[in-house]
Amino acid sequence: MSQILKELRYTKTHEWVRIDGDIATVGITDFAQEQLSDIVYVDLGSIGKKVKQGDAFGTIEAVKAVSDLYAPVSGEIISINDDLKTTPDLVNKEPYGKGWMVKIKISDQAELGNLLDAKGYEELIGKTTH
Amino acid sequence: MPFTPHTTEDKKAMLKAIGVASFRELLNTIPESVQFKGKLNLPKPISELEVKRLLTRIASNNRSLTEYISFLGGGAYDHYIPSVINHIISRSEFYTAYTPYQAEVSQGTLQAIYEYQSLICELFAMDVSNASMYDGASALAEACHMARDLTSRNKILIAETIHPYYTKVVRTYTEGLKIPIQLVKSTDGIVDLNELEKLIDDSVAAVLIQHPNFFGVLEPVGELEKIVHKQGALLVACVDPISLGILTPPGEYNADIAVGEGQCLGLPSSLGGPFLGIFTCKKEFIRRMPGRLAARTTDTEGKTGYVLALQTREQHIRRGKATSNICTNEALCALAAAVYLSVMGKQGIKEVAKQCLAKSHYLASAISQIKGFGLAFSKPFFKEFVVKTPVPSAQIIQAALKKRILAGIDLANFDGFKPDWQSNQGGYLLIAVTEKRTRKEMDKLIRLLKTWEQ
Buried b vs exposed e over B75-114: b needs ≥16 C-beta within 10 Å? bbbbbebeeebeebbeeeebeebeebeebeebeebbbbbb
Same domain? B306 vs B360 = no
Q: What is the DSSP letter of B21?
A: S
Q: Comparing B185-189, B275-279, B319-323, which segment has the lowest mean pLDDT?
A: B319-323
Please tell me the distance from the alpha carbon of residue B76 to that of residue B8, in angstroms, as a whole number.
49
Same domain? B179 vs B204 = yes
pLDDT band (50, 70, 90) for residue A64: confident
Looking at beta carbons, which residues of chain B come within 8 Å of A41? Answer: 287
- Number of folded domains that form chain A: 1
The answer to whether the CB atoms of B317 and A49 lie below 8 A apart is no
Nearest by CB to residue B313, choosing from A45, A49, A66, is A66
The answer to whether the CB atoms of B313 and A43 lie below 8 A apart is no
pLDDT at B101: 72
Decide if B436 is inside a domain. Answer: yes
Asked if B314 reaches chain A (Cβ–Cβ under 8 Å), the answer is: yes
Nearest by CB to residue B317, choosing from A43, A49, A65, is A65
Decide if B52 is inside a domain. Answer: no
Same domain? B174 vs B320 = yes
Please tell me the distance from the alpha carbon of residue A69 to that of residue A27, in angstroms, as a whole number.
9
Residue from A39, A66, A67, A84 to probe the interface with B (highest B Cβ count within 10 Å): A66
Q: Comparing A108-112, B252-256, B287-291, B317-321, which segment has the lowest mean pLDDT?
A: B317-321
Q: Look at the pTM and tell me if it is higher than 0.95.
A: no
pLDDT at B49: 97
Tell me the three state secondary structure of residue B47. coil
Taking 90 as the threshold, does the pLDDT of residue B69 lie above it? yes
pLDDT average, residue stretch B256-261 = 98
Same domain? B156 vs B175 = yes
pLDDT band (50, 70, 90) for residue A129: low
Please tell me the distance from the alpha carbon of residue B26 to that of residue B209, in angstroms, as a whole number.
56
Closest CA–CA distance from residue A106 to any residue of chain B (Å): 21
Looking at beta carbons, which residues of chain A come within 8 Å of B287? Answer: 41, 43
Question: Model confidence over B399-408: pLDDT tens digits?
Answer: 999 999 999 9
Q: What is the CATH number of the domain that holds B388?
A: 3.90.1150.10
Taking 90 as the threshold, does the pLDDT of residue B361 lie above it? yes
- Number of folded domains that form chain B: 2
In the listed set B341, B359, B385, which residue is the last one of a domain according to the structure? B341
Asked if B285 reaches chain A (Cβ–Cβ under 8 Å), the answer is: no
Decide if A3 is inside a domain. Answer: no
Asked if B286 reaches chain A (Cβ–Cβ under 8 Å), the answer is: no
Question: Model confidence over B88-111: pLDDT tens digits?
Answer: 999 988 887 776 778 888 899 999
pLDDT average, residue stretch B52-61 = 95
Chain A: residue whose CA lies nearest to B321: A68
DSSP B272-286: T----EEEEE-GGGG
Question: Model confidence over B161-177: pLDDT tens digits?
Answer: 999 999 999 999 999 88
Tell me the three state secondary structure of residue B127. coil
Looking at beta carbons, which residues of chain B come within 8 Å of A45? Answer: 152
Q: What totals of helices (H) and strands (E) does chain B contain, helices first?
A: 14, 17
The answer to whether the CB atoms of B313 and A49 lie below 8 A apart is no
The answer to whether the CB atoms of A41 and B318 lie below 8 A apart is no
Which residue stretches of B243-330 are H helix?
A: 314-317
Looking at beta carbons, which residues of chain A come within 8 Å of B313? Answer: 61, 66
Do residues B225 and B250 lie in contact, with contact meaning Cβ atoms separated by under 8 Å?
A: no
Q: Which of B122, B99, B121 is nearest to B110 (CA)?
A: B99
pLDDT average, residue stretch B394-420 = 85
- Residues in a beta bridge with A43: A59
- Sequence-ordered list of residues with C-beta below 8 angstroms from that of B74, at least 6 positions apart, any chain: B163, B214, B384, B409, B430, B432
Q: Per CB distance under 8 Å, which residues of A are interface residues toward B? A: 41, 43, 45, 49, 61, 65-66, 68
Looking at beta carbons, which residues of chain A come within 8 Å of B321? Answer: 68
pLDDT average, residue stretch B378-397 = 95
The answer to whether the CB atoms of A41 and B152 lie below 8 A apart is no
pLDDT at B271: 76
Same domain? B281 vs B150 = yes
Residue B141, CA distances (Å) to B164, B173, B264, B326, B442 in order: 13, 6, 20, 12, 36
Do residues B190 and B141 lie in contact, with contact meaning Cβ atoms separated by under 8 Å?
A: no
Do the interacting molecules here have an ipTM over 0.90?
no
- What amino acid occupies position B403? K
Taking 90 as the threshold, does the pLDDT of residue B251 lie above it? yes
Decide if A36 is inside a domain. Answer: yes
Please tell me the distance from the alpha carbon of residue B92 to that of residue B189, in angstroms, as a whole number.
46
Q: What is the enclosing helix (H) or strand (E) of A28?
A: strand A23-28
Asked if B317 reaches chain A (Cβ–Cβ under 8 Å), the answer is: yes
Decide if B41 is inside a domain. Answer: no
Decide if B3 is inside a domain. Answer: no
Same domain? B73 vs B91 = no
Please tell me the distance from the alpha carbon of residue B329 to that of residue B73, in angstroms, as a whole number.
24
Decide if B25 is inside a domain. Answer: no
Residue from A36, A40, A59, A63 to probe the interface with B (highest B Cβ count within 10 Å): A59
Same domain? B221 vs B135 = yes
Please tell me the distance from the alpha carbon of residue B116 to that of residue B280, in angstroms, as a whole number.
12
Residue from B150, B202, B313, B321 to probe the interface with A (highest A Cβ count within 10 Å): B313
Same domain? B181 vs B229 = yes
Looking at beta carbons, which residues of chain B come within 8 Å of A49? Answer: 152
Tell me the three state secondary structure of residue B311. strand
Asked if B152 reaches chain A (Cβ–Cβ under 8 Å), the answer is: yes
Decide if B58 is inside a domain. Answer: no
Same domain? B390 vs B301 = no
Decide if B64 is inside a domain. Answer: no
Decide if A60 is inside a domain. Answer: yes
Please tell me the distance from the alpha carbon of residue B221 to that of residue B211, in angstroms, as a whole number.
8
Structural domain that includes position B159: 83-341
pLDDT band (50, 70, 90) for residue B313: low
Please tell me the distance from the alpha carbon of residue B385 to that of residue B383, in angstroms, as a whole number.
7
Same domain? B239 vs B305 = yes
Decide if A74 is inside a domain. Answer: yes
The answer to whether the CB atoms of B287 and A65 lie below 8 A apart is no
Decide if A37 is inside a domain. Answer: yes
* Strand runs labelled E in B203-343: 204-211, 234-239, 257-261, 277-281, 292-298, 304-311
Tell me the three state secondary structure of residue B135. coil
In the listed set B275, B307, B341, which residue is the last one of a domain according to the structure? B341
Decide if B406 is inside a domain. Answer: yes
Question: Model confidence over B26-40: pLDDT tens digits?
Answer: 888 899 899 888 888
Q: What is the CATH number of the domain that holds A40?
A: 2.40.50.100
Q: Comparing B6-10, B260-264, B347-351, B404-408, which segment has the lowest mean pLDDT?
A: B6-10
Please tell me the distance from the alpha carbon of residue B397 to that of residue B387, in angstroms, as a whole number.
13
pLDDT average, residue stretch B391-417 = 89
Q: What is the CATH number of the domain that holds B118?
A: 3.40.640.10
Tell me the three state secondary structure of residue A68. strand
Same domain? B382 vs B334 = no
pLDDT average, residue stretch B76-81 = 96
Taking 50 as the threshold, does the pLDDT of residue A115 lie above it? yes
Decide if A129 is inside a domain. Answer: no
Structural domain that includes position A90: 9-110
Asked if B319 reaches chain A (Cβ–Cβ under 8 Å), the answer is: no
Please tell me the distance from the alpha carbon of residue B156 to that of residue B146, in angstroms, as a whole number.
11
pLDDT band (50, 70, 90) for residue B417: very low
Looking at beta carbons, which residues of chain B come within 8 Å of A60? Answer: none
pLDDT band (50, 70, 90) for residue B314: low
